[in-house]
Amino acid sequence: MKIQSSLAVITAASITLSAAAYDNSGRFDNAATRAFDVTEQADTLSADSIGFGFIDIKVLPHTSVKDQNKSGTCWCFASTSFFEDEILRQNGDSLDLSEMFTVRQCYLDKADRYIRLYGQTNFAAGGSALDVPYVWAKYGAVPEDVYTGLNYGEPKHVHGELDAVLKAYLDAVKSNPNKKISTAWRKGYEAILDAYLGKVPETFTVNGKTYTPLSYAKSLPINVDDYVSITSFTHHPFYEEFAVEVPDNWIWEKSVNLPMEEMKAVVDNAIDKGYPVVWAADVSEGGFKWYEGYAVMPKETTEADLDGSELSRWVKLSDKDRAAARFDFKEPVPEMEITQQLRQQMFDSQETTDDHGMEIIGIARDKKGNRYYKVRNSWDTNQVYDGFFYVSEPYFYAKTIDILVHKDAIPKDIARKIKK
């Protein structure tokens, strides 16, 4: 896991939370714990102090910002919010759907796979955007007030102990001390989930009608088969599907591989036509300043870019200080030119990692006319833009792992190229 240079602003109190970064997949998403210890600093920032002058060009209807708190479940918050917004797009009700119901079902299936594979696979809190439609199709969905997943004395999600207990339990089982896996292990595992997250109700009532989780999911205007995951890497053929090779893609769901310009064209067309987009990306870059409300890929400064006093100061800096200076800005800066080759190189070298799931819900520009995506996060609302931030196009090109979108949002000329 890379260390983000801009983390220098984080308080010592937040550093003590590093033990909560328990997601063994290595997802930087667990740095979400930062969001709850920089409240004081974030509150001191104002839009005027940022200096980007963001102007929203188009923002899609969306439900409220949610808070994953100290849990590695961004993937579920992003996709669940996305489906809530997809329901709004179809003139449905504004719903608050349970993330922890989905998380619980994934914990069960991950455990089965972990034991069947003798522990030779990833078991962690992380997941992908495709886990939510997977659960909705197989197990269903429930409203948030039916299943909050808060059964352990906390007002918000705090999964450090839960994840540690689940992993330790499974490791004890997979060690097979009796030379034969018992018939009791899964009941014991389910009991842990029941104790922490609560038992899943067989039936529940919404607006006077009784549902099961499966029947409730079927009552929603969502056909999970209508959604397509899209990525962009050169180690597989374009216009074909492959399973993106990251640990949190534990069900090995496939994504359509497009050139990066066409992947971006899908997002642009989606927002233009009113479709939200799930965005999975690397957020460990120094230019990812969520607490200040933006993510950019600034160019590396060279001596040729400087003159006079700037140059004399620059040559005296250490390599570490020069690297830090690259991310010391409060207004739009020149950004890197991202090519398909550079994007691939960043992924292969693991500079780009599968860190965090979010939702793109709009388009904006800064005061210099640069274009950005407006992104909804799941790290509460105690930041400059109340839980939203702005991502530059170069950052999107460089650091996107994959996106999830309705198939009708794909431009027809691109859809025709995709091999079925």
Cα 207 from Cα 205, distance rounded (Å) = 7
**Per-residue pLDDT for 300 more than 80?**
no
The token duo for 199 is: 């038992």
Which pLDDT value is given to residue 45? 41
**Contact in structure between 114 and 170 (CB atoms under 8 Å):** yes
DSSP for 241-296?
EE----TT-TT---EEE--HHHHHHHHHHHHHHT--EEEEE---STTEETTTTEE-
Percent of the chain residues topping a pLDDT of 70: 82
Percent of the chain residues topping a pLDDT of 90: 78
**Per-residue pLDDT for 372 more than 70?**
yes
Which pLDDT value is given to residue 302? 52
**Per-residue pLDDT for 377 more than 90?**
yes
More confident residue, 31 or 158: 158
Name the least confident of 5-9, 228-232, 287-291: 5-9
The token duo for 251 is: 């069900």
**Per-residue pLDDT for 299 more than 60?**
yes
In the chain, where the domains are located: 5-297+335-415
Which pLDDT value is given to residue 330? 84
Which pLDDT value is given to residue 295? 96
Which pLDDT value is given to residue 181? 96
Which pLDDT value is given to residue 43? 38
Which pLDDT value is given to residue 32? 36
Mean pLDDT of the residues in the chain: 87
Question: Where residue 312 falls among pLDDT bands split at 50, 70, 90?
Answer: low
Question: Where residue 5 falls among pLDDT bands split at 50, 70, 90?
Answer: very low
CATH topology of domain 5-297+335-415: Cathepsin B; Chain A (3.90.70)
**Contact in structure between 192 and 165 (CB atoms under 8 Å):** yes
> Cα 62 to the chain's mean position, in Å?
17
Which pLDDT value is given to residue 6? 32
**Per-residue pLDDT for 77 more than 50?**
yes
What number is the average pLDDT over the span 262-281? Answer: 98
pTM of this prediction?
Answer: 0.86
**Per-residue pLDDT for 293 more than 70?**
yes
Question: Where residue 298 falls among pLDDT bands split at 50, 70, 90?
Answer: very high
Cα 114 from Cα 290, distance rounded (Å) = 34
The token duo for 187 is: 């009941």
What number is the average pLDDT over the span 186-205? Answer: 98
**Contact in structure between 360 and 277 (CB atoms under 8 Å):** yes
Report pLDDT digits (tens) over 24-67: 333 334 333 333 333 333 333 444 446 899 999 999 999 999 99
Report pLDDT digits (tens) over 199-253: 999 999 999 999 999 999 999 999 999 999 999 999 999 999 999 999 999 999 9
